[in-house]
Amino acid sequence: MQQLVFAIGTMIAGVLACAFYFFATNWLLDRIFPSKGLSGAKASQNLRTTNAIRPWLFMLPALLALSVYLVYPVFESVRLSLHDRTGQTFLGLGNFVWMLGDSEFRQSIFNNFLWLLVVPALSTFFGLVIAALTDRIWWGNIAKTLIFMPMAISFVGAAVIWKFVYDYRAEGSEQIGILNAIVTWFGGSPEAWITLPFWNNFFLMVILIWIQTGFAMVILSAALRGIPEETLEAAVIDGANGFQIFFKIMIPQIWGTIAVVWTTITILVLKVFDIVLAMTNGQWQTQVLANLMFDWMFRGGGDFGRGAAIAVVIMVLVVPIMIWNIRNAMRETGGH
């Protein structure tokens, strides 16, 4: 109860602080550059000045937060990656050489590659199919709401939910895990699914696909609705069937949006951490880069050098995709 009260109090305090900041900065700016009660030329000049400064005042808290929590950590991570566990002794590329020979790092790279192959593809595919189907039925909005609901759940919360799906009890015991209950109902033997090497990675991927399908569905549904009706009507008149319209007309027109959704989920997959930590903690060959970084930084003696080196690898993998995503979005909006 105390945590709930603290959380609510924090949210209220944050909203009030933002409101106070915006009102106070507006008031101060209008006092420094007044436009009321002055001559036309002076008032016009002050008005232009305040209009030029006001957006930067509004953006200042966000810029400070980005500088403190994003820009500074990038440079500090690069610095730490070139030093030993204490961050004092310079090692050069020693930590990166260690990574190449570390079996757990190679396992993490392989697992991340599996996640990259499966999760963005299936999330985008299911989101696209659901978006197309739900636009054709009267209860489509209800279905979209239900499918989008997992997006409101934290990754740890989703992992707890799916732990009950994969729960294992010894054979002969009552199975409370849905998957094992179905298996035993058909006469099979229960399995500890998340301990099965290689296959357990796919069981973990299902959780992220379940969450991200709603995101893909919402974005792609909006893109599908933006296709001109005249194009679809012309295709029908020309004798195209439903599959031809969908694959040869609709998908090419929203291909840019599909690519943005795909790459956005790809960036998320490269940073996946919470699900693996909550479900397996990287055991049974499910280790991924972000969890390995966490292990080296905050466990096993706290080797900030190796942990930061892994963080730099993640950043190097993510940044090119982010740049491509931004350029693609700017191109679609005409550079604005």
pLDDT at 207: 92
Amino acid 332: pLDDT: 64
Residues β-bridged to residue 83? 90
| pLDDT over threshold 90, residue 122 | yes
Is residue 188 within 8 A of residue 305, CB to CB? The reply is no
- Band the pLDDT of 319: cuts 50, 70, 90: confident
In whole numbers, what is the pLDDT of the chain averaged over residues?
A: 84
Please give the average per-residue pLDDT across 280-295, as a whole number.
87
CA distance 165 to 157: 13
| Residues 6+ positions from 335 with CB-CB distance below 8 Å | none
- Indicate whether 37 pLDDT > 70: no
Which residues are CB-neighbours of 108 under 8 A, at least 6 positions away?
287, 288, 289, 291, 292
Residue 185 has a CB neighbour count (10 Å cut-off) of 9
pLDDT at 120 over 60: yes
Q: 231-251, pLDDT tens digit by residue?
A: 777 878 777 777 777 778 888
In angstroms, the CA 251 to CA 272 distance is 28
- pLDDT at position 301 is 64
pLDDT above 80 for 183: yes
Q: What string of DSSP letters covers 68-92?
A: IIIIHHHHHHHHHHTB-TTS-SB-T
pLDDT tens track for 131-147: 888 877 778 788 888 88
- Model pLDDT, residue 211: 92
Q: Cβ distance 289 to 275 under 8 Å?
A: no
Query: CA 243 to CA 222: how far, in whole Å?
Result: 20
Compute the residue count for the chain. Answer: 336
Proportion of the chain above pLDDT 90, given as a percent: 8
Whether 133 and 219 have beta carbons less than 8 Å apart is answered as no
Tracing tokens 């099965």 back to the chain, one arrives at 196
Q: CA–CA distance from 103 to each of 100, 234, 287 (Å)?
A: 8, 57, 11
- pLDDT tens for residues 60-78? 888 888 888 888 888 888 8
Mean pLDDT of 146-162: 87
**What does the pLDDT average to over 184-201?**
86
| ∠ Cα 317 213 286 (to 5°) | 50
Instruction: Give the number of C-alpha atoms closer than 13 A to the C-alpha of residue 122, restricted to the C-beta side.
Output: 15
What are φ and ψ of residue 299, in 5° steps?
-135, 175
* Domain 95-333: assigned CATH number: 1.10.3720.10
